A and B are shown apart, each in its own frame.
Chain A
Amino acid sequence: MYTFGIDIGSTTSKCVVMKDGTQIVGTSLLVGGIGTKSPAEAVRQALENAGVTREELAGVAATGYGRNRYEDADYHVSELSCHGLGAHHTFPGVRTIIDIGGQDAKVISLDSEGRMQNFLMNDKCAAGTGRFLDVMANILVIPVGELADYCARAKEPAQISSTCTVFAESEVISQLANGVEMEDLVAGICSSVAGRVASLAKRINIVPEVCMSGGVAQNAGVRNALSEKIGHPILFSPNAQLFGAIGAALYAWEKKQ
């Protein structure tokens, strides 16, 4: 039985086709989220990758901020629930999931069976989210995907405020004017995001294993800084950005069982 999960986020669209609730047979990930053409294209690509037609799908679940506007779904599920399912599927021992997406950050606590116990969401603020990294990368004229490489070469991370994206933007410009090395600035930026999210995570009882999900999980600079700040290693999967879509496909499978 094939099921399908689509995660329509604020900045990207992700799809996963699963077979029998265990095997990922097709995926897609496109820049452009809610309100763009990307969700439809992501669906097309994932089905093509899997070699499966829409008619062969037993169930479709949509998640992410655009979930309720996606009409071709049997289920609309909160992204926190889906990230929990997706992370547990990938790391069966995971108890704490830190999800940093394009416009928000969330922390999810699971019990040993993978059931959600608690969750927290960030304030309505760009600090501590992927948006913060996007803004900073834009100022530094560095592709956001290369931030981690710069971070790895840093000698002394700069101090960047973690309280406000707008103020932090001014700080970065000031630091550039003062001749601070680009690598040190990027490390400071990653540390700033990590600091903000670590504060959120500490409001929940952090139980290992801990993993990250969402687009920012790809950034080793943020991952390492976050690991240091919360005092736990952070598991990483190349599929971290797909956890929401994986969880949605699993949800559809469970419902159809």
Chain B
Amino acid sequence: MSVQEMNLQELLDCFHEVAHDPGKQMKKYLDEGKKVVLVAPVYTPEEVIHSMGMVPMGAWGGDIQLNEAKKYFPAFICSIMQSIVELGTKGVYDGASAIVIPSLCDSLKVLGQNWKYAVKDIPFIPMTYPQNRKPAFGRTFTKAGYERVAADLEKATGIKFEEDKLPASIDVYNAHNAAMRAVSEKLASHPEITNQQRSDIFKSATFMLKEEHTELVNALLAALDKAGASAKKTIRIMTSGILADAPDLLTILDENNMQIVADDVAAESRQYRTDTPDGDKAPLERLADKFAETDNCSVLYDVEKKRVDKIVEDAKKADAKGVLVLLTKFCDPEEFDYPLIKRACSAADLPCVLIEIDRQMVNYEQARTAIETFKDLLA
């Protein structure tokens, strides 16, 4: 069945299947003869990989028990990083040609260094970003990082990087960004779509070629228009954090009639906010400009912390009644920002609640209590 022939439910099922079985998706690409390159969070230059005819596939870890990874990490470190290594040591990523890991937080730096020893069969390619990304020297540094990634990819895969093929991939990614922004906005007026289904749409994006995902998302947008919005009344909230994909957590939100109408989640909308600019510059320079112009994220240096105001602004714009901060345990950049977010929300009369999450949570009762109380507070 073609994507255009799929109805709303079939499209939602398709997102769900991809989001919950990335291994099947990876096997499909490998069976098609494509090379798969893992991309760790966040802001990995996927366009470079895509332009080389390979599939960039998100590696954000999974909700699993950590055993092997503990050989490589201290106890108090981000569980996303640990679960990426855990999955690597268990062979879940076997078949991937390389993994690109950016350097945007201390845990990510540790991930890269440990990956080399923990998962020897999948080459580690570092993407070293500058702290000062906006000045010309920062952009030059970023571009040099992309060139290093391209060179390492050539070495790992034997496929040559040709910069003149990059603009086509940039167009694919810009189109996908637009589709994701549109679907986020559209879903805010469709309370019948559950939080789990919304998460599936975002999560599946990391496991698919972006042109394929864009086609699905555009079909979904059309199907939503055709179906019309339901009259269901929900409590509208905005989420913020690194991840928001735990099924138990999303179920609790659904059970409490809470609808995510906007997000500031790194694995969701944050990565789709900024397009690569058009222009006459060389494609890699344009890509470096994209990173330079990306803002409002805990791992991107900003002395003014404009991110905080954007959260309030986005929440108000989406008519969210409160902000739910899903703090990934031991994520320093997010922890540093939380007091500022809390203060800004308070000043804007926007209730804000924090729930700590990680990749190893098995009991969500404390989260349930916090969410139920948040609901009472918003009511």
Contact = CB atoms under 8 A, between A and B. Distances in A.
B207 to A, nearest CB: 31
Given A77-B376, A81-B376, A119-B377, A124 B369 contact: no
B171 to A, nearest CB: 46
A48 interface: no
Interface string A78-122: 111100000000000000000000001000000000001111010
B369 A65 contact: yes
Q: Is the interface of A mostly helix, strand, loop or mixed?
A: mixed
Contacts of A20: none
B376 A121 contact: no
Q: Is the interface of B mostly helix, strand, loop or mixed?
A: helix
B343 to A, nearest CB: 11
B373 interface: yes
Contacts of B373: 78, 80-81, 116, 119
A81 B377 CA distance: 8
Contact of B377 (A65, A104, A116): A116
B366 A121 contact: yes
A181 interface: no
A123 interface: yes
Nearest to B356: A123
Interface string A171-204: 0000000000000000000000000000000000
B302 to A, nearest CB: 24
B377 A121 contact: no
B370 interface: yes
A65 B365 contact: yes
B366 A80 contact: no
Given A116-B377, A123-B356, A78 B365 contact: no
Interface string A225-252: 0000000000000000000000000000
B372 interface: yes
Interface centre among A68, A78, A79, A81 (most CB of B within 10 A): A78
Nearest to B363: A124
B365 A77 contact: no
Contacts of A118: 351, 377
Interface string A119-149: 1010110000000000000000000000000
B366 A78 contact: no
Given A65-B369, A124-B366, A78 B356 contact: no
Contacts of B365: 65
Interface string A52-91: 0000000000000100100000000111110000000000
Nearest to B352: A118
A90 B179 CA distance: 54
A118 B346 CA distance: 10
Nearest to A120: B354
A148 B356 CA distance: 33
B76 to A, nearest CB: 12
Given A65-B365, A123-B356, A124-B366, A77 B377 contact: no
A30 to B, nearest CB: 21
Contacts of A78: 369, 372-373, 376
Interface in B164-193: none
A77 B369 CA distance: 9
A191 B376 CA distance: 33
Contacts of A104: 366
A116 B372 CA distance: 13
Contacts of B353: 119
Contacts of B368: 68
A116 B351 CA distance: 11
Given A116-B376, A116-B377, A119-B377, A80 B369 contact: yes
Contacts of B351: 118
Interface string B122-159: 00000000000000000000000000000000000000
A119 B370 CA distance: 9
A10 to B, nearest CB: 10
A119 B372 CA distance: 12
Contact of B370 (A65, A116, A121, A123): A121
A120 to B, nearest CB: 8
A123 B372 CA distance: 17
A68 B365 CA distance: 10
B253 to A, nearest CB: 14
B20 to A, nearest CB: 26
Contacts of B366: 104, 121, 124
A7 to B, nearest CB: 13
A89 B368 CA distance: 25
Nearest to A117: B377
A66 to B, nearest CB: 10
A121 B373 CA distance: 11
B32 to A, nearest CB: 44
A168 B281 CA distance: 62
Interface of A: 65, 68, 77-81, 104, 116-119, 121, 123-124
9 contacts: A78-B373, A79-B369, A80-B369, A81-B376, A118-B351, A119-B370, A119-B373, A119-B377, A121-B370
Interface of B: 351, 353, 356, 365-366, 368-370, 372-373, 376-377
Given A81-B372, A116-B373, A118-B351, 14 more contacts: A65-B365, A65-B369, A78-B372, A78-B373, A79-B369, A80-B369, A80-B373, A116-B377, A117-B377, A118-B377, A119-B370, A119-B373, A121-B370, A123-B356
Closest 4 A/B residue pairs (Cβ): A78-B372, A80-B373, A78-B373, A81-B376
